[in-house]
Structure 1
């Protein structure tokens, strides 16, 4: 089933884009959850994120990721209604964004992206902030890390996905509006099979082999003056929960570049 899941994901998300899919493994209900990282934020911080509720029951809880450990650095952590983001001041992009989706959370339709506007995040000091003008005539889309389509349950949640701290520059035609959108949709379709889906999304800045045989990290910076780094690749880590934690889980990770021939492959990790 794990191999089938990977092949379906690769076919749906990566034709025409370079993709690496890594099957991270499965855990049965008898296993203990991974110990929290020593870099995890204090419990109070992890629980300040909003949750979609039905009566007295929480339907989504993005902070639930912290029960498995912190995904990465936790500076400039911003709890939102449907996701949590951490901002990278050096790159002016999110470092990672964690979200939680379920069939119930996706069934709402009170939020409309036509009523949302892109916003600079005033919580970030101005000198480190990604600006709307940085994207103007840059040739890049403002690509969502936590998709707007995952936050239709109310307008506030939808609006929060339009903060630039949830955005990275992405090639529009052929990537953001195509292969990236297919991968986002794949995550949503998993809610038909699994009780709960947790997703970590973010940018990567990976080295490339130069003509002199040495590897170097090189990326474009948009804005005038240059301000926002253009990632070379993007990743999604998907954790599918079959029941309440610490129940059975299945996980898979994707690494995508915006160009080149399809190079999808999977690696099983024991």
Structure 2
């Protein structure tokens, strides 16, 4: 049997009131956090940990279950437990909708993917007219029909978010916004070309655990939460011109905002 890497794992504390399987999970987590086990690395086997700590296999399995529940590791049947690769982190900056980006023909997702040095993709695109939910209708000023644009975003081939934009039908019908590819700068650039110069955005953000559909769509590991963001865009006349309902893999984002002190 191969020896464990020297100094990576210590001894259990027999005086601690923390359960033994949690102590083992703590040590493995710390080793992952310190980079002693990197992304894709295989963790010590059940047999190795049983011998090292002098515990039962069930205790070790419970330790692995804790780490799986936190989204840190993946178990591959017959192969072992591996440190889960994480998607590239994208900073959700407060200036991501600045006009200068649209003037350059770039959408917010493209701008921030470029800043992260990642390859952006959009798939699962669907554009259709539909009746909005009560909440979306209220946010948009109570239109009876909207244009809905659904899409999933990927960085370097990994899903990181999916979003639905809802626009009043009288603004979007028979315009480039209703096309799968609305053109350089995205739908915000098209809205401004149509005379709806954007004034500001309101955002509501909360964190929660994902639904089964969200787990499947974003290919989330067990224990990974999502960030649920709802953004409303207003033009200079004060009219809400779009509501974007976005769900993001929480481990793929850092929310970065610059807030004025006056």
- After TM superposition, the score normalised by the length of structure 2 is 0.25
The higher-RCO structure (CA 8 Å, 6+ apart) is 1
- After TM superposition, the score normalised by the length of structure 1 is 0.24
Larger radius of gyration: 2
Q: Which has the higher helix share?
A: 2
